[in-house]
Structure 1
Amino acid sequence: MQRLPGHTRTPYGRERVVLRRLPVWLLGGTLVPALSAGMARLWPWDLPTAELAARIGLIDILAIAVVILWWTGLFTVGIGAFIVMVMKGPAYVADAYPLVDADRPADGPVRESRPPTASGSTP
């Protein structure tokens, strides 16, 4: 792989900003649902024990779902920003690969492929 001569690199843009901010977004988006689940345990509920356990369990499930959704979204945005960053980098040229029949068709007759007829023989 050799660099393409005469290729100019495109200056970076939003993709670098997004990639730099991803850890902060990851931490912030994870802490908010985690703190809400933690606060549910400290909140002075006026409920029977069984109903309180069910409600806290529901809050935990919702917090986990929000965290997984957030991580999936950030992962998708991160992949997109990384692809843009790589595409803005230097261009490379691979070694030439000569094709056997690039300018002329292959030698020999061309056969057509027909499915057999109902009698089992080809016309």
Structure 2
Amino acid sequence: MGILKKLPGGVRYPSYKEWQLLKKLPKWWLLGSVVFAAPIAYDWWQSGDLLAHDLERNSMFLGLLFTFWFFIGAAMIGLIVIIIMKGPGYVADPYYLPKEDKSLENPPKT
């Protein structure tokens, strides 16, 4: 048996918007990164030192940049989970409960 064995008769649901959104995420990531990093880059270009000029503003834009990256990553994880959930079902190894197998109900004491 291979690592993943598909469930016989499993239903695979059609994709709706998740693939379209997942394909747009790199563009959104790049565009958002440019938008939030542009003020920092401009400030560095003008003064040559980020710590010498308006540290609060640069810190705010760095925080916005990292927050934006977090939301893009969370959206990507959510879309991948949706894609996996809509895929075919897989069979796992059986786990026999003690009520089904009487020999497992009272294990020998050591």
Asked whether the two chains share a fold, i.e. TM above 0.5, the reply is yes
Shift of 1:41: 4.8
- 2:16 and 2:69 mapped to 1: Cα distance? 23
How many residues were matched structurally?
A: 98
Cα 1:95/1:41, change in 2 over 3 Å: closer
Deviations 1:11-55 (A, max 9, x none): 112211121111111111111121122333566xxxxxxxxx342
In structure 1, the partner of 2:15 is 12
Mind listing any 5+ residue stretches in structure 2 that lack a counterpart? 47-51
In structure 2, the partner of 1:95 is 93
Given candidates 76, 79, 89, the residue that maps to 1:78 is 76
Q: Secondary structure at the match of 1:5?
A: coil
Residue 23 (str. 1) matches residue 23 (str. 2): no
Identity of aligned residues (%): 30
1:18 partner letter: L
Residue 32 (str. 1) matches residue 35 (str. 2): yes
1:81 partner letter: L
In structure 2, the partner of 1:111 is none
Q: CA RMSD in A?
A: 2.5
Q: Secondary structure at the match of 2:95?
A: coil
- 1:17 and 1:41 mapped to 2: Cα distance? 36
Q: Secondary structure at the match of 1:100?
A: coil
Larger radius of gyration: 1
- 1:26 and 1:96 mapped to 2: Cα distance? 42
Residue 59 (str. 1) matches residue 57 (str. 2): yes
1:83 partner letter: V
